[in-house]
Structure 1
Amino acid sequence: MSGNRAIAYKGPGKVEVIDVDYPTFELQDGPGVNPANVGRKVNHGVILKTVATNICGSDQHMVRGRTTAPTDLVLGHEITGEVVEVGSDVEFIKVGDLVSVPFNIACGRCRNCKERKTGICLNVNPDRPGSAYGYVDMGGWVGGQAEYVLVPYADWNLLKFPDKDRAMEKILDLAMLSDIFPTGFHGAVTAGVGVGATVYVAGAGPVGLAAATGAQLLGAAVVIVGDLNEDRLAQARSFGCETIDVSKGDPGEQIAEILGVPEVDCGVDAVGFEARGHGQDASHEAPATVLNSLMDITKAGGALGIPGLYVTGDPGGIDEAAQKGSLSLSLGTGWAKSLSFTTGQCPVMKYNRDLMMAILHDRVSIAKNVKATPITLDKAPEGYAEFDAGAAKKYVLDPNGYLGAA
């Protein structure tokens, strides 16, 4: 086996399908690969033939040129695949298994992994805790928007679907387990969502819709989703959410029209560092807007779940502080209201099996809620462009024809 095709970042606003090497059980040098990882043996890994690999808003940040991602970085951290080769140290995963890949790469051996903090594994990225496929400054593990991909520590990382035929019947739902469904669910959990809660989710992109779905699954009484994009708000209403258009003014006033009070029990930030202002400022980037707004509208003693991405390097930031990830937060508001905050990568393995069971037993329809839309690998540049323009869809790449996207 020698061929492989993948989606690569080619500079701001541009991705292309390129030919890349077929994976081996040793990390090779390449765009974004940490030099300390070059030559690393991966006998504990497997090679997957990709069944589904999704375009994520986090990928879009890189493609917009808002990170330090290098040219020719192979993208993609949302991966579902079929095992075609296993390394010599793999014991339990077998050729032919259909699996979901958590976007966090974790060793299963370090202190953090043993404490279920798999988003900040200590052994897979020489520069900092935590790693991911196809993402800038995350150790250089090659991305999964490709026909074939290497997955390390396979016995630990992979979630095997119990029945292949049954899984393929729900494959678009199960494809959301690699990132956005657990990530959105994590946002809802860390915001304290429970039975009877009122919840505000900032952002109606795929992660925001997944957070809203997770809040419903957790028993929320009312889920309100805020955004600037009417098509995405309509998608949120399609599965029972209330919505507000933040371009029309302060979220608190609009929340009061729905709930009778200008606050919610739980707040979720599914927007991240490219946030825009509210009301008349909605046309301008204002990266601290969502966080400050959530502190205002979340009840005293409440919590904020923050699955939205924030970075330490943003070349396109509106000022010198924003370019370093330093935002003007009203921390005094948070302190005065005794608010709790949870940030960082979702530890996918903490949730993915339970969410898989909810999917397989018809408790949730995440693919419908995020409007999962399969496209071929060759259509990926169009998918990126449409997603960047605000399409109310979750694009799922079909590199090997498992989904019938052609």
Structure 2
Amino acid sequence: MTGNKAVAYKGPGKVELIDIDYPTFELKDGPGVNPANVGRAVNHGVILKTVATNICGSDQHMVRGRTTAPPDLVLGHEITGEVVEVGRDVEFIKVGDLCSVPFNIACGRCRNCKERKTGICLNVNPDRPGSAYGYVDMGGWVGGQANYVLVPYADWNLLKFPDKDRAMEKILDLAMLSDIFPTGFHGAVSAGVGVGSTVYIAGAGPVGLAAATSAHLLGAAVVIVGDLNEDRLARARSFGCETVDLTKGGPAEQIEQILGVPEVDCGVDAVGFEARGHGHGKDAEEAPATVLNSLMDITAAGGALGIPGLYVTGDPGGVDEAAKKGALSLSLGTGWAKSLSFTTGQCPVMKYNRQLMMAILNDKVHIAKNVNAKAITLEEAPQGYAEFDAGAATKYVLNPNGYLS
């Protein structure tokens, strides 16, 4: 039997490399696996040898103990891999194919999948619509921060790269197609970004930088990124963004200095539920609705907010009882008065990943450079998690099997 090591959540602030079983075409019992999914046959799946698997800010929420994730949950929903085994019912994906895996697990058969709403598939998670690898309350599909991983409904889910050698030349860029690039793009699209738009993006982490990259790709005239972290703001400036340093106050005044008016056409929340207040640097207190309320203030009437930042229904570390249930003090009256539109939820990756792949392969965008992607070994994952949590302006890409130079 081939060995398989994986990165697992062990408790608040702690991840470890552990030994796990090599995947089979059946979902077995384990940490976080929904009992209704135990024993589920996956003859429509494939086993991938992992080429790249990224550390995500969404993983960090679990690692910080801010979700109900159980110990020993194998992490990792941003997966790129080479097919090494195919299930009995797989028709079109072949052994040797190099593929990107959307972080949403989708069946391709339900009403929502047929409507391209793959982030809320009805058939893969018995608890609720929507599923993902290695994530709390998502059905228990084993994460991909490992040597090998099972991907169900492979003919539907996998995006095969058309030329393996050409793909390997741009593999760090293509590794961003599993989540953050489509997620950032979805945030920009759902905010209404187009040619000539002015855009404010809250958060200069990898998703925020991906949203900024996407806004440029969509033709925005001015892209402004706000954050409390100067190193991350410097990344945004490196590819042509304006920046707002939130240690120096709220965004409106600084936006006015850039644009001449204190508002933008489009707003993107790339922060989520662990947002902090303005003006206090690293000591800023957590204020979960800060970003959403400030975006409503600075987005022009009739505009839209794209909200790819993660919000949860269970947060043991919430600042109050309401926040622990995902209930935030949202100024909905502001949004109503200004006729603002909101789009929340998982990005339906399949809606965008092929187009973004073509943009990468044809040198229209350099997402890995913009997010400062850095390959590290599986053994270095705990250090990568710690550095990312401390605010490193880096997108850590795990290299479990030595494919990445």
Question: Structure 2 length as normaliser, TM-score?
Answer: 0.99
Distance in 2 between residues matched to 1:359 and 1:35, nearest whole Å: 40
Alignment of 1:212-223 (within 5 A): 212-223=212-223
Alignment of 1:332 with 2:333, yes or no, is: yes
SS where residue 167 of structure 1 aligns? Answer: helix
> How far apart are the structure 2 equivalents of 1:93 and 1:62?
32
| Alignment map for 1:102-113 (pairs within 5 Å) | 102-113=102-113
Distance across 1 between alignment mates of 2:3 and 2:401: 13
Distance 2:169 2:7 in 1: 26
SS of alignment partner, residue 16 of structure 1: strand
Q: Give the aligned residue type for 2:369.
A: K
Give the corresponding residue for 1:75: 75
Deviations 1:328-368 (A, max 9, x none): 00000000000000000000000000000000000000000
User: 2:227 matched to which residue of 1?
Assistant: 227
1:123 maps to: 123
**CA distance in 2 between partners of 1:249 and 1:133 (Å):** 38
Written as runs of structure 1 = structure 2, the 5 A alignment for 1:160-175 is: 160-175=160-175
In the aligned structure 2, how far is the partner of 1:84 from the partner of 1:239?
Answer: 38
CA distance in 1, matches of 2:88, 2:228: 51
Q: Structure 1 residue 279: deviation in Å?
A: 2.0
Q: Unaligned regions of 5+ residues in structure 1, if any?
A: none
1:14 positional shift: 0.3
Partner residue of 1:369? 370
Residue 294 (structure 2) aligns with:
293
**Who is 2:154 aligned against?**
154
User: 1:62 is matched with which residue?
Assistant: 62
Using the TM superposition, name which of 246-255 and 75-84 deviates more.
Answer: 246-255
Q: Which residue of 1 aligns with 2:275?
A: 275
Deviation digits for residues 119-156 of structure 1, max 9, x if unmatched? 00000000100000000000000000000000000000
Distance of 1:277 and 1:59 partners within structure 2:
22
RMSD: 0.7
Q: Which amino acid aligns with 2:355?
A: D
Aligned to 1:265: 265
How far did residue 2 of structure 1 move? 3.2
* Amino acid paired to 1:388: D
Alpha-carbon separation, structure 1, partners of 2:81 and 2:342: 34
Aligned-partner Cα distance in 2 for 1:98–1:213: 25
Q: Runs in 1 of length 4+ with deviation above 4 angstroms?
A: none
- How far apart in 1 are the matches of 2:63 and 2:278? 25
Deviations 1:243-263 (A, max 9, x none): 011121110000000000000
Q: In the TM superposition, what whole-angstrom CA distance separates every residue of 1:135-184 from its partner, at most 9, and x where no partner exists?
A: 00000000000000000000000000000000000000000000000000
User: Matched residue of 2:73: which SS?
Assistant: coil
Q: In 2, distance between residues paired with 1:395 and 1:295? A: 32
Return the alpha-carbon distance in structure 1 between the equivalents of residues 258 and 249 of structure 2.
14
Q: Matched residues in 2 for 1:64 and 1:25: separation? A: 32
CA distance in 1, matches of 2:17, 2:280: 40
CA distance in 2, matches of 1:280, 1:162: 48
Distance 1:138 1:71 in 2: 15
Q: Describe how 1:3-402 pairs up with structure 2 within 5 A.
A: 3-280=3-280, 283-402=284-403
Tell me the SS of whatever aligns to 2:27.
coil
Shift of 1:280: 4.4
Q: Distance in 1 between matches of 2:249 and 2:280?
A: 7
Q: What secondary structure is seen at the aligned counterpart in 1 of 2:113?
A: helix
Distance 2:61 2:303 in 1: 29
Which amino acid in 2 is paired with 1:291? L
CA distance in 1 between counterparts of 2:88 and 2:286 reads 50
Give the secondary structure class of the aligned counterpart of 1:299.
Answer: strand
* Structure 2 Cα separation of the partners of residues 37 and 197 of structure 1: 45
Task: Give deviations 1:252-309, integer Å, cap 9, x for gaps.
Answer: 0000000000000000000000000012486100000000000000000000000000
CA distance in 1: counterparts of 2:217 and 2:383, whole angstroms: 33
C-alpha separation between the residues in 2 aligned to 1:159 and 1:111? 21
One-letter amino acid of the counterpart of residue 113, structure 1: C
The 1-side partners of 2:195 and 2:380 are apart by: 42
Structure 2 spans left out of the alignment, 5+ residues: none
Q: Secondary structure at the match of 2:125?
A: coil
The CA distance in 2 between the partners of 1:22 and 1:390, in whole Å, is 34
Q: Name the % identity.
A: 89
Alpha-carbon distance in 2 for matches of 1:279, 1:5: 43
User: C-alpha separation between the residues in 2 aligned to 1:336 and 1:385?
Assistant: 42
SS of structure 2 residue aligned to 1:10: strand
Paired residue type of 1:401: G
How far apart, CA to CA, are the structure 2 residues paired with 1:279 and 1:380?
A: 32
SS in 2 for 1:6: strand
The residue identity in structure 1 corresponding to 2:289 is A
SS at match of 1:244: strand
Matched letter for residue 135 of structure 1 = Y
Distance 2:276 2:161 in 1: 39
Work out the CA distance in 2 between the residues paired with 1:321 and 1:248: 29
